[in-house]
Amino acid sequence: MGKNTILLLALAFVLSFSGCSGSNTLAAENSSASDTIETGIDMSDMFTDRDMEIGYDAENSTQITLSADSASASSDAVQISGSTVTITDEGTYLVSGTLNDGMIIVNAEDTDKIQLVLNGVDINSATSAAIYVLQADKVFITTASESENTLSNGGEYVAMDDNNIDSVIFAKSDLTLNGAGILNINAAAGHGVVSKDDLVLTSGTYNITAASHGLSGKDSVRIANGTYQIVSGKDGIHSENADDASLGFVYIADGSFDITSDGDGISANDYLLIEEGEYTILSGGGSVNSTKTTENDASGFAPAVPGENGGRKGMPQEGVQGGEDMENGLTPPDRSQNKPAPSENAEVQDLENDAATEQTSASEDTVSTKGLKAVSDFIISGGTFTIDSADDSLHSNGNVVLYGATFEIASGDDGIHADSAVEIYDGCTIDISQSYEGIEGLSIDILGGNISLVSSDDGFNAAGGNDSSGFLDRGGDNFGTEEGAYINISGGEIAINASGDGIDSNGDLNVSDGTIYISGPADGGNSAIDYAGEGSIDGGVLIATGSSQMAQNFGSASTQGVMMVSCSGTEGSEISLCDDSGKEIIAWQAEKEYTSVIISCPEITEGATYTLTTGDTTTQVTMDSLVYGSGGMNGGRKEMGTKEMGTERPERQ
The single-letter DSSP state of residue 368 is P
* Segment 613-617 long-range contacts (CB within 8 Å, at least 24 positions apart): 613/574, 613/575, 613/576, 613/577, 613/578, 614/567, 614/568, 614/569, 614/573, 614/575, 614/590, 615/568, 615/569, 615/570, 615/573, 615/574, 617/567, 617/568, 617/569
Query: Which residue range is the domain that position 531 belongs to?
Result: 372-472+481-645
Query: Under the phi-then-psi rule, with left for phi > 0, alpha for psi from -120 to 50, and beta for the rest, what region is 353?
Result: alpha
Please give the pLDDT value at position 91.
97
> How does 112-129 read in b/e, with b if 16+ C-beta sit within 10 Å?
bbbbbbbbbbbbbbbbbb
Domain membership of residue 43 (yes or no) is no
d(CA 55, CA 430): 40
pLDDT tens sequence across 124-161: 999 999 999 999 999 999 999 999 999 999 999 999 88
> Which of 170, 201, 216 is the last residue before a domain boundary?
216
Tell me how far apart the alpha carbons of residues 253 and 243 are, in angstroms, rounded to a whole number: 26
In a domain, 613, yes or no: yes
Distance CA 327, CA 383 (A): 29
Burial class (CB in 10 A: 0-12, 13-18, 19+), 534: middle
Give the Cα-Cα-Cα angle 97, 56, 151 (nearest 5 degrees). 35
The Cα–Cα gap between 14 and 19 comes to: 8
**Residue 25 counted as domain residue:** no
**Could you tell me the pTM of the whole model?**
0.82
In a domain, 300, yes or no: no
Residue 42 counted as domain residue: no
Phi then psi dihedrals of residue 250, to 5 deg: -125, 125
Helix (H, G, I), strand (E, B) or coil at 333: coil
- pLDDT given for residue 586 in this prediction: 96
Distance in angstroms (rounded) separating the CA atoms of residues 96 and 92: 13
C-alpha 366/C-alpha 55 separation (Å) is: 45
Total of domains in the chain = 2
- Asked if residues 560 and 538 have their Cβ atoms less than 8 Å apart, the reply is yes
Q: Which residues of the chain have pLDDT under 50?
A: 1-10, 13-39, 293-364, 465, 468-479, 632-653
b/e string for 504-515 if b means 16 or more Cβ within 10 A?
bbbbbbbbebbb
315 assigned to some structural domain: no
Give the separation between CA 563 and CA 600, rounded to whole angstroms: 7
Maximum Cα interatomic distance, the chain, rounded to a whole number of Å: 95
Residue from 554, 544, 447 nearest 490 by CA: 447
d(CA 243, CA 250): 17
Structure confidence at residue 479 (pLDDT): 45
Q: In this predicted model, what pLDDT tens digit does every residue of 289-306 receive, in sequence order?
A: 997 743 334 333 333 333
The answer to whether residues 198 and 241 touch, using CB atoms and an 8 Å cutoff, is no
Instruction: Specify if 537 maps to a domain.
Output: yes
Domain final residue pick, 191, 216, 241? 216
Phi, psi torsion values for 246, nearest 5 degrees: -80, -5
Residue 157 falls within a domain, yes or no?
A: yes
Residue that terminates a domain, selected from 216, 231, 252: 216
